[in-house]
Structure formats: C-alpha cells, structure tokens
C-alpha cells in the first residue's frame, strides 16, 4: 500500500478540520492507489490515525468550559463521520478513475467497470477499425481479449472483482521501421 506514505502525513496535517479531513484523506488515498481495496484500506488507516489524535486531544488535552462535556461527544461524532467519508471518497475515486501510462512500446490503462456494456463503451474509441476479438479464457473470473487494429494491437484482461470488473489494457504499437 504505497499510498500510506501520502495518506498518513496528510491525515495528520488536516486532522483539525472536522469532516473535511476525511474527504481530503480519501481523495489522496483514492488517487494514489491503483486498486480499489488497497485505496479503501489506506484511507481507513490514515483516518483512524488522525481520529485517534483528534480524540486524544479532545478527551485529554483540550478543556473548553463553554462546551462542557459536549466536546468529547462532538469529537467522536466528527471522527465517525470523517472516517466514513474517507472510506466513501477513496472508494468512489478509485472506482471511477482510469489510470493511463505511456510506454515506449505503447500504452497501458486500467479501470473498473460494472458490466460488459460499460467495458465496450469505454473501449469504443480504441476498437474502431479493429478486427474481430480473439478470446482466451483463463478461468471463470479471468479472460484476455486481443484485437488487431491498424498499426497497433489491443490486448485487455478482464477480471471479475466483487460485483464489477477490473480491466487492464495494453496497446502495443506495430509500426514497421
């Protein structure tokens, strides 16, 4: 979980902003992780550490005579809401983001989709002018599809993860020199 090196410092830097701290930590974890499950775990760990600091200060250090016993209760409520928002925002960001990397051989992309129609819709701009697909079924939850196109080869792996699909695309250029 490489995003822990970003989400923990960010969580400790913005712990004092109630409720928004969870959204900020969730966004950082969601954008810095490729996988949906590790993004949610990273956001949860960062938010828990920040909430632990927040609650420690609310219960042991800060004394606000005007609020009386209301400060610890509000701190617990804000921590729970912040952690929930952190988990939700990291899930949504990592679930809806397409990650693209350009390499000398072509390009690689990765995204999550709910069904096959969404996969075909997202790939429609790449598959125009391509030949018929060649399917290689590895197991019931894993399949590789290859298409020959004008000047490049499109290969994508579709894996079932939870209720959706994780799609890894490799575009290989075939330009003869």
- Report DSSP letters for 128-172, one per residue: TT----EEEEEETTEEEEEEE-SSEEEEEEEEEETTEEEEEEEEE
Domain co-membership, 32 together with 73: yes
Q: Of 66, 96, 126, which marks where a domain is finished?
A: 96
Domain holding 125, by residue range, is 99-173
**Domain-ending residue, one of 45, 67, 96:** 96
For the chain, the domain total comes to 2
pTM of the model: 0.79
If you write DSSP's letter for every residue of 39-57 in order, what string do you get?
HHHHHHHHHHHHHHHHHHI
**Domain C-terminal end among 38, 64, 96:** 96
Kindly state whether residues 78 and 118 are assigned to the same domain: no
Same domain, 91 and 106: no
DSSP H or E run through 70: helix 70-96
Structure tokens at 94: 């990592």
Look up residue 18 and give its two tokens.
């109630």
Q: Are residues 107 and 92 in the same domain?
A: no
Are 64 and 20 in the same domain? yes
The one-digit pLDDT tens for each residue of the chain (177 residues) are 777 888 889 988 988 888 899 999 999 999 988 888 899 999 999 999 999 988 898 888 877 777 677 888 888 999 999 999 999 999 999 888 888 888 888 899 999 999 989 998 988 888 888 889 999 999 989 999 999 988 889 999 999 988 889 999 999 986 554
In terms of domains, do 75 and 28 share one?
yes
Q: Is 17 exposed, middle or buried (0-12, 13-18, 19+ CB in 10 A)?
A: middle
Residues 57 and 121 in one domain: no
Question: Partners of 159 in the beta sheet?
Answer: 142, 166
């Amino acid at each position: 979980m490489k995003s822990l090196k970003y989400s923990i410092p960010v969580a400790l830097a913005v712990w004092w902003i109630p409720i928004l701290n969870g959204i900020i930590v969730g966004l950082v974890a969601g954008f810095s992780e490729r996988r949906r499950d590790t993004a949610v775990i990273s956001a949860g760990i960062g938010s828990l550490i920040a909430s632990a600091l927040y609650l420690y200060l609310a219960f042991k250090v800060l004394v606000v005579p005007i609020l009386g016993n209301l400060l610890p209760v509000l701190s617990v409520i804000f921590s729970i809401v912040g952690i929930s928002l952190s988990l939700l925002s990291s899930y949504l960001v990592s679930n809806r983001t397409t990650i693209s990397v350009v390499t000398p051989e072509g390009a690689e992309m990765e995204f999550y989709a709910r069904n096959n129609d969404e996969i075909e819709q997202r790939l429609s701009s790449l598959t125009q002018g391509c030949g018929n697909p060649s399917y290689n079924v590895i197991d019931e939850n894993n399949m590789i599809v290859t298409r020959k196109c004008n000047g490049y080869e499109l290969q994508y792996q579709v894996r079932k993860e939870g209720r959706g699909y994780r799609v890894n695309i490799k575009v290989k250029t075939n330009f003869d020199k």
